Chain A
């Protein structure tokens, strides 16, 4: 009954350590607290103790490998032991657990108690339904490494999803340059001639056989350090020649390694495409290749809106709400959606029906560290600008902190993306499929506008509306945009809505 043993936090929040040596071999019996490996961190060399009585089934790394805290390093086969209950949650980042690393006893106790994540004791087999196994493959999760929270430790769908999220987060720290090739014990240490200055003599005494060796090894015998002097001249033996040749090769190899490692960093690196990134990618692909996108562009003069927001801002702040332009745009969009219901619809391809929604849930794209998320404000038509502002702020915050509830990311009928927040004018937003429209906002800036033959500076907002051309025609897109623009040009009209 195997138990996987992960490298514990060997001291003061150290994230990784080198396995200097294994103190046990596969097949060795071990008892609890018996040291199994020596691990060197940047602080100290620590002996890592076994958390269990059992037998070593597998050592997962060779000595000399850098291993991150939390990676499985040993698999033990257990002696008859009860099924571990739900494994104690471990917190790798919790540096408080370990005291001074020099205090081996204290560290060992802490390791055994906190850092060991024990798999349920089920003969090395993971119990999970086929649907969950499929999900694990989709999310690139090793199901054998997931601890189950289902009945008797069965792995559930949410266990796999949690593991997938955890891995994605961990990914960032995983990208580290490959460990330097470990020095072959015995060779470079005993014969460091690479660092020895080359002799560079004019004349060197040596036996003809030695010269033969030098020729074979392509070594200039005048460069070989002399082992003794004869008749006042440097004398070189065959062994010295060989040693020198080896040293030269080692030095060359080291140069090559240095070049390969790249002082300036690797030329390229490969980052796994998975997790949230892949989910976003899949959604984008599905949308782009399912819905024929057409993007309609226009620019609206929002001078009045800018002034209005300036006037209202202090009032909103008095109520602790940060007022952005987004709530006004959402209000304008909903007013226009009511005029053009085909944009507030989706296509049910299976049923062959266009689903027109008589509710107005607006998705607002938010850039987060993990990638793009689209929180949804429900029933925008029934909410005040202030209420909408408050909700958008809250949802965006939750999305960034990744505490957002799943239902807050579902059920939108039309979406808005504000790429202008970062700067820029026009773009082609990808529809939040299966919706049929998305409005992209450029940056509100003072731009030149022609007015009665004069060029004047006005606050303008560039709009980019992408539509699913299967459902919405270009003319409708233009009319809808005009409607939105009307409300944004003369925001007081929104009072009538």
Chain B
């Protein structure tokens, strides 16, 4: 501790006010704890400010424009004009409304929000340095701490983000003009979401991916409709090529890639976007001071209560390991707060759903068929194509399907995969089914509204039971 530094006492100090940190703070406040929430940058974290929310705002706005201009089949003729700066203003308004809401909720729950970068001084003390030279620092003496510092984009060597020609995902969301062309490095979910948005805005998109397919980690039949749609939108893919370097040209940038065999290719564009993944932020906290060390991937290991190896220090969200998803962070935040408040709480979720906001969307929860087999189940699988669903046909986007994976013997729903319109929403029902221990029968015998996309969930369950109405049974 700095001489003369007087520490402020707090029952719970939370470092990071993202989806994990602010939820933990509010829940802890509800439970009567004295909470200090420390945020270096912007309340709401990456998700609200530079990730989920602004990207989904742009996706929606872009879809409105694109759909309107691409609906001749429905007899609609329009030529929408997109004012990128106005779209950005609207998007920023959405973000402000949400972050403002979070701030109010923190305040209403008695959470003390502090701005600055926190680092551990010893096992019970955090020092918070305020931004800017000479702004000083203050110390907090805590009984419990939650590390919720999240993650930052990974930089490819040689492709340092400059906000002008080499952009991070965050930079893309702040563009005020639509670039004519971009090279996107990385075909993971962030790269694919950004590529789709830009392609719909009329940008020529070239995607360069080191691996041999888009959306690694997702089953190939889920990915196929996304790739097909991307190709329709004019997105070009080069697989098996790693970004090696770039040079400035008169019009922008030329990106050089290299295959494993050493073959080089070059791609010219106005800008390059690097979206190759995210890495946890565990290096700014001086974790050594409390004897904590991140594992080889930079994550802090935690137990079912979100507790680290240091008993009174918890870790949640991206720093606590995969999957790096906001809703996982929130769930962990709530559990950590409850455990600290002495409530019987634990992370015993059966499944964490995930969604990719490509076109069409992908939603997954629980086990795939292969995972169910590996876990020792004999899987019963049911599938229903949106092409046979009335509502999907009326959206004009009947690509994709709902697949449900269950245990043949007991009928318990183990997981589901959806690709198609509104897959991100449809997956919620299936998540509930997994979490409740619902059986195929339960899902099949739940009356679903007609005409909706959700009927496909019911039909997929019926298909697994061998008595689907609107598709041939297996």
Interface positions of A (Cβ within 8 A of B): 1, 77, 82-83, 120-125, 127-130, 133-134, 137-138, 140, 143, 150-155
**Which chain B residue lies CB-closest to A155?**
B437
How distant is the Cα of A221 from the Cα of B308 in the complex, in angstroms?
Answer: 53
Contact B348–A127 (Cβ < 8 Å): no
Known: A123-B376, A125-B350. 10 other contacts (CB 8 A): A82-B409, A83-B410, A123-B375, A123-B377, A124-B375, A130-B436, A138-B344, A143-B348, A150-B437, A152-B412
How distant is the Cα of A448 from the Cα of B11 in the complex, in angstroms?
Answer: 57
Contact B410–A153 (Cβ < 8 Å): yes
List of B residues within 8 angstroms of A127 by Cβ: 410, 412, 437
Interface positions of B (Cβ within 8 A of A): 344-346, 348-350, 372, 375-377, 407, 409-412, 435-437, 439, 441-442
Contact B409–A137 (Cβ < 8 Å): no
How distant is the Cα of A77 from the Cα of B375 in the complex, in angstroms?
Answer: 12
**Which chain B residue lies CB-closest to A132?**
B437
Nearest-Cβ distance from residue B244 to partner chain A, whole angstroms: 45
How distant is the Cα of A123 from the Cα of B409 in the complex, in angstroms?
Answer: 11
Residue of B346, B348, B412, B441 touching A122 (CB-CB under 8 A): B412
Contact A122–B407 (Cβ < 8 Å): yes
The B contact surface, by secondary structure, is loop
List of A residues within 8 angstroms of B411 by Cβ: 151-152
Residue of B344, B350, B375, B377 touching A134 (CB-CB under 8 A): B344
List of A residues within 8 angstroms of B435 by Cβ: 129-130
How distant is the Cα of A153 from the Cα of B350 in the complex, in angstroms?
Answer: 17
In the A-B complex, the 10 residue pairs with the smallest Cβ-Cβ separation, listed nearest first, are A127-B437, A152-B410, A137-B344, A123-B376, A129-B436, A83-B409, A123-B375, A154-B437, A138-B344, A123-B377
Nearest-Cβ distance from residue B377 to partner chain A, whole angstroms: 5
How distant is the Cα of A77 from the Cα of B437 in the complex, in angstroms?
Answer: 22
Contact A123–B344 (Cβ < 8 Å): no
A-B contact pairs, 21 of them (CB 8 A): A1-B376, A83-B409, A121-B409, A122-B377, A122-B407, A122-B412, A123-B407, A124-B375, A127-B437, A128-B437, A130-B349, A130-B436, A133-B348, A143-B348, A150-B437, A151-B411, A151-B441, A152-B409, A152-B412, A152-B439, A154-B412
List of A residues within 8 angstroms of B345 by Cβ: 134, 137
List of B residues within 8 angstroms of A82 by Cβ: 409
List of B residues within 8 angstroms of A1 by Cβ: 376
How distant is the Cα of A77 from the Cα of B376 in the complex, in angstroms?
Answer: 10
Nearest-Cβ distance from residue B106 to partner chain A, whole angstroms: 25
**Which chain B residue lies CB-closest to A148?**
B437
Nearest-Cβ distance from residue A285 to partner chain B, whole angstroms: 13
**Which chain B residue lies CB-closest to A77?**
B376
List of B residues within 8 angstroms of A155 by Cβ: 437
**Which chain A residue lies CB-closest to B408?**
A83
List of B residues within 8 angstroms of A83 by Cβ: 409-410
Nearest-Cβ distance from residue B370 to partner chain A, whole angstroms: 14
Greatest chain A CB density within 10 A among B344, B410, B435 is at B410
How distant is the Cα of A494 from the Cα of B215 in the complex, in angstroms?
Answer: 83
Greatest chain A CB density within 10 A among B345, B348, B350 is at B348
Greatest chain B CB density within 10 A among A124, A138, A143, A154 is at A154
List of A residues within 8 angstroms of B410 by Cβ: 83, 120-122, 127, 152-153
List of A residues within 8 angstroms of B442 by Cβ: 151
How distant is the Cα of A151 from the Cα of B442 in the complex, in angstroms?
Answer: 10
Nearest-Cβ distance from residue A480 to partner chain B, whole angstroms: 36
List of A residues within 8 angstroms of B348 by Cβ: 133, 143
How distant is the Cα of A152 from the Cα of B345 in the complex, in angstroms?
Answer: 26
How distant is the Cα of A121 from the Cα of B378 in the complex, in angstroms?
Answer: 11
List of A residues within 8 angstroms of B407 by Cβ: 122-123
List of A residues within 8 angstroms of B409 by Cβ: 82-83, 121-122, 152
How distant is the Cα of A130 from the Cα of B377 in the complex, in angstroms?
Answer: 22
List of A residues within 8 angstroms of B350 by Cβ: 125
How distant is the Cα of A82 from the Cα of B409 in the complex, in angstroms?
Answer: 8
List of B residues within 8 angstroms of A150 by Cβ: 437
How distant is the Cα of A312 from the Cα of B189 in the complex, in angstroms?
Answer: 85
List of A residues within 8 angstroms of B377 by Cβ: 122-123
**Which chain A residue lies CB-closest to B373?**
A123
How distant is the Cα of A154 from the Cα of B433 in the complex, in angstroms?
Answer: 13
Contact B439–A151 (Cβ < 8 Å): yes
Contact A125–B344 (Cβ < 8 Å): no
Nearest-Cβ distance from residue A389 to partner chain B, whole angstroms: 42
**Which chain A residue lies CB-closest to B442?**
A151
Nearest-Cβ distance from residue A143 to partner chain B, whole angstroms: 8
Nearest-Cβ distance from residue B18 to partner chain A, whole angstroms: 24
Nearest-Cβ distance from residue A112 to partner chain B, whole angstroms: 23
List of B residues within 8 angstroms of A134 by Cβ: 344-345
Nearest-Cβ distance from residue A172 to partner chain B, whole angstroms: 23
**Which chain A residue lies CB-closest to B348?**
A133
Nearest-Cβ distance from residue A354 to partner chain B, whole angstroms: 27
